[in-house]
A = this chain, B = another copy of it.
Amino acid sequence: MNDYVNLEKCLDYQFKNKDLIVEALTHKSFKKPYNNERLEFLGDAVLNLIVGEYLYKKFPQSNEGDLSKIRASLVNETGFTKLANEIKLGDYIYLSIAEERNKGRTKASILSDAFESIMGAIYLESGLETLKPIILTLLEKSYDKINLDVLFSDYKTALQEITQAEFGSIPDYKIEGSYGPDHKKEFEVSIWINNQCYGQAIGKSKKLAQQAVAKIALDKLKG
C-alpha cells in the first residue's frame, strides 16, 4: 500500500525511497530520531537555483538586482506555502499531537519547510533535471495567483514615497494606448511627476505597465 498516491499524482512523480520521503514529511515536533530540517537545508538551495535559473532565462533583459528581487518575492515562506497548498502537502506532514492541536498543519512555517524538504528529497533521489519540471509546473500553475503585480508591487509604493518627500506630489500614470488582439492586449503607460514625463513602458496589463514605468522613474530619480 502506498499512502502517498495523491501526493505523487499532484507532483506527477513517484517516490523511490519511502524512508527519505517520510523524513521529509516529519516535523521536528514529532520527536523521531530524524526530522525534515536537513532536507530543508538542501531543498532551500535547490529551489533557489531552479527558480533563479528560470528567472535568468525568462527575463533575459533583467539585471542581477532585479532578478534577485523577483526571486526573493517567490522564494520565501509565503511563496512556498502557496506551492505546498497546491499539492495539499499539509495532509501528509507528521506532527506532534500538541502541534496538531495548535493548527500546525496549516501554519505557513511548517508547510513551507516541508515543501523545501520534499523538494530536497526528490533532488537527492532523482537529481536536478527530474526536479526542475516539477517545480516549474507548480510555479507556472501558481503564477497567475502570485503574478507579476505582486512581484513588482514595491516599485509604485517606493516611488510614491520618494516623490511625496521630494516634490510634495504623487506620480501621475497616463494610459497612452493599447495594442494587440483582446486576448493578448498590451498597454502603454507614461509616468508624470510634477508635470514632467519620466518614461513610458508597455505591459500585459495596466498594472504591470504602471509597475514597469514606476521602476524606470525610480531608477532616474535615484540617479
Closest to A62 in B: B38
**Chain A contacts to B: CB under 8 angstroms:** 37-38, 40-42, 45-46, 48-49, 52-53, 56, 62-64, 67-68, 127-129
Q: Is B53's CB under 8 angstroms from A38's CB? A: no
28 A-B residue pairs with Cβ-Cβ distance under 8 Å, sorted by A, are A37-B63, A37-B64, A38-B56, A38-B62, A38-B63, A38-B64, A38-B67, A40-B64, A41-B52, A41-B56, A41-B64, A41-B67, A41-B68, A42-B52, A42-B53, A42-B56, A45-B45, A45-B48, A45-B49, A45-B52, A45-B53, A46-B49, A48-B48, A48-B49, A49-B49, A127-B128, A127-B129, A128-B128
The smallest C-beta distance from A49 to any residue of chain B, in angstroms, reads 4
Main secondary structure of the interface of A (DSSP, over half): helix
The smallest C-beta distance from A101 to any residue of chain B, in angstroms, reads 25
A48 to B198, CA, bound (A): 39
A62 to B128, CA, bound (A): 23
Question: Which residues on the B side are within 8 Å of A52 (C-beta)?
Answer: 41-42, 45
The smallest C-beta distance from A59 to any residue of chain B, in angstroms, reads 9
A68 to B37, CA, bound (A): 11
